[in-house]
Structure 1
Amino acid sequence: MIELRTPAEIEQMRPAGRFVADVLAQTAAAAHVGVNLLELDALAHDLIRRRGAESCYIDYHPSFGASPFGKVICTSVNDAVLHGLPHDYRLQDGDLLTLDFAASVDGWVADSAVSLVVGTPRDEDLRLIDTTRRALTAGIQAAQPGGRIGDISAAIAAVAHAEGYSINTQFGGHGVGRTMHGDPHISNDGRAGRGYPLRPGLVVAIEPWFLETTDEIYTDRDGWTLRSADGSRGAHSEHTVAITDDGPLVLTAP
C-alpha cells in the first residue's frame, strides 16, 4: 500500500535522514586500506546505539535473503553491488566500496547509499561512480509533484545509457516511511509519463546502481550479496526523497 505523509510527518522524518547521512559519512571516512568490513559494521552499530536508533537490517529477512541479515550496514566490494554482507575482509588499495545504510529514528526510516574508491582509484571506477551520482541527481530532479514514477525511471536511464551502461531492473527504488521497503517500486529504467502519480507526501528512496559491463547479477553463497555475472564492478548511489508542493526534498543530504 502506498502511503502519503503530511508536511508534519515529513518534518518528523528529518532526524532519521540526518542520522543516516552522518553514519554514511563516518563509515566512508573510516574506509581505509587495511580496514576490515566487520570494523565498519561495528562502527555503524556503535553509532546506532549512541543515537538510540534502530537498525533496519539486522533482523531483516525478506524472501530473497537466505537468513536474517545479521549486520547493520551493507558493504559491497568490487563486483558486489547490492546487499553486501559484512564479512572478514580487509580493504585493499583500489577497492570499489559501496556503503548502504538504513535506520529508524523515532519510528521513521531513512535509507541512503554511497560508493567510493579506497586508496588509488581507477578511471573506470570513478566514471561508474560519477554516473550513478549524476543519475541520482537526475532522478531527484524528475521527482516533481504532478509527475509520474516513470519520469524518475526515465531520467535515471537516460544518464546510464548516455554512458553506455546497461540497466538491471530487478532491484530499484522504493517507498520509505515507518518501514524500510514499501510501495511504490521505482525501476532504474522506464518510460516518462507512466506509473504512479507523484503526489505531495510521497516519500521514496531513489537508488540508481549500475555494473560496468553487464546487467546480470547472481547471489553470493552467503545468501545475500549480489554480484555481477561477469565479475565487473558495480556502484550505487541512493537518497531518501520526499515529494512536496515545492518539489523534491532530499532527507538524507549530507
Structure 2
Amino acid sequence: MAEWKSEEEIRRIRRAGQVVAECHEAIAKRIAPGVTTQEIDRFVERLMAERGAWPAQKGYLGYPYATCASVNEVVCHGFPDTIPLQEGDMVTIDMVADVDGWKADSAWTYSIGRPQPTAARLLEGAKQAMLRGIAECRIGRRIGDIGAAVMQSARQSGHSVVTSFAGHGIGRAIHENPEVGNSGLSGSGVRLEAGMVLTVEPILTTGGGEIWLDRDGWTARTRDRSWSAQFEHTIAVTEQGPIILTCL
C-alpha cells in the first residue's frame, strides 16, 4: 500500500530536503583531488548537526556512516574511506537527513576534476534519466511509467540501468511503499496520487547492469567493473505536478 502525506507533512519533508540540498551544494565546492570520502562524511555529519538534522543512514540496518560514498565502479552503498580521490574519479555521495522525524533522500555523482568524455556522457545520461523519471511523477501516471521513462532515457544515451536497486516512498521511514523501479512497463503498477512522496534514483553504467556485493554486505559494484553514476531527488506528487523537495 502506498502512503500519502498532508501538505504540512510535505513541508516537513521539504525542511529535511533543504538540509540535504545544502550539504550537496557544500560538497560540490569542497570535493577535489586529494580529498577523502571519509572527510566528506564527517563534514556532512557536522553540517547536518549545525542545521538540527540527523544523518538517518547512520545506524540504519547497521550501516555505520552518515553518507554512502561510491567511487567509480561502485554503484551504491560504498563505505567512506581514507583513500584520497584522484583527478578523473567519479564519486556518488548519497545521504538522508532527518529533521524532527521526517526524512529526505538525495544522491549526486561528482566528477573529481574535469571528467573524461566517457564519464561526462555517463554523468549527463544519469542526470537526464532521473529528470525523465521525475517528469512522470504526476497524478494519474503509474509507477511503471517512471521506470519505463528511466530505461528509455538510458538507452538513448547508450547506457545500462542497474535494476537491482530502486527508489521508494519516504517520510517517517527511509523506505516506505511503493517501490519505484528503474525499469518498468508504461501503464503498470501503482497509480500515482496527490500526497505521495517518492525518490527517483536511477543508476546508470557504461557497461552492463549486473552487480555483486563486497564482503561487507553493503558495497555494490558492477560485475564488469564499468563505471556508474547516480542522481536522486525526493519528489512530492501534487496537483501542480512533481515538486522536488531536495533542492534549494
2:245 aligned with 1:240, yes or no? no
2:7 aligned with 1:13, yes or no? no
The 2-side partners of 1:245 and 1:197 are apart by 14
The 1-side partners of 2:25 and 2:217 are apart by 27
Q: 4+ runs of 1 displaced by more than 3 Å?
A: none
The 1-side partners of 2:2 and 2:172 are apart by 12
Structure 1 range deviating more: 227-236 or 164-173: 164-173
Gaps of 5+ in 1: 62-67
- For residues 89-117 of structure 1, what are the alpha-carbon distances to aligned partners after superposition, in whole Å with 9 as ceiling and x for unaligned? 11011001111111111211000011121
Structure 1 range deviating more: 124-133 or 213-222: 213-222
Counterpart position of 1:65:
none
The 2-side partners of 1:247 and 1:183 are apart by 20
Counterpart position of 1:34:
34
Which letter maps to 1:166? S
Q: How far has the Cα of 1:219 moved from its partner? A: 1.0
The match for 2:224 among 213, 222, 230 is: 230
Q: CA RMSD in A?
A: 1.1
The match for 1:168 among 162, 168, 177 is: 162
Counterpart position of 1:114:
108
Normalising by structure 2, report the TM-score.
0.97
Gaps of 5+ in 2: none
The 1-side partners of 2:38 and 2:158 are apart by 34
Counterpart position of 2:144:
150
2:38 aligned with 1:44, yes or no? no
Q: How far has the Cα of 1:52 moved from its partner? A: 1.9
The 2-side partners of 1:213 and 1:132 are apart by 13
Which letter maps to 2:90? L
2:91 aligned with 1:97, yes or no? yes
Q: How far has the Cα of 1:145 moved from its partner? A: 0.4
The 2-side partners of 1:246 and 1:49 are apart by 33
Equivalent pairs, count: 248
- For residues 102-150 of structure 1, what are the alpha-carbon distances to aligned partners after superposition, in whole Å with 9 as ceiling and x for unaligned? 1111211000011121013111111111011111111111111011111
Counterpart position of 1:183:
177
Task: Name the SS of the counterpart of 1:113 in structure 2.
Answer: strand
C-alpha contact (below 8 Å) 2:193/2:237 kept by paired residues? yes
Percent identical residues: 40
Counterpart position of 1:74:
68
Which letter maps to 1:102? V
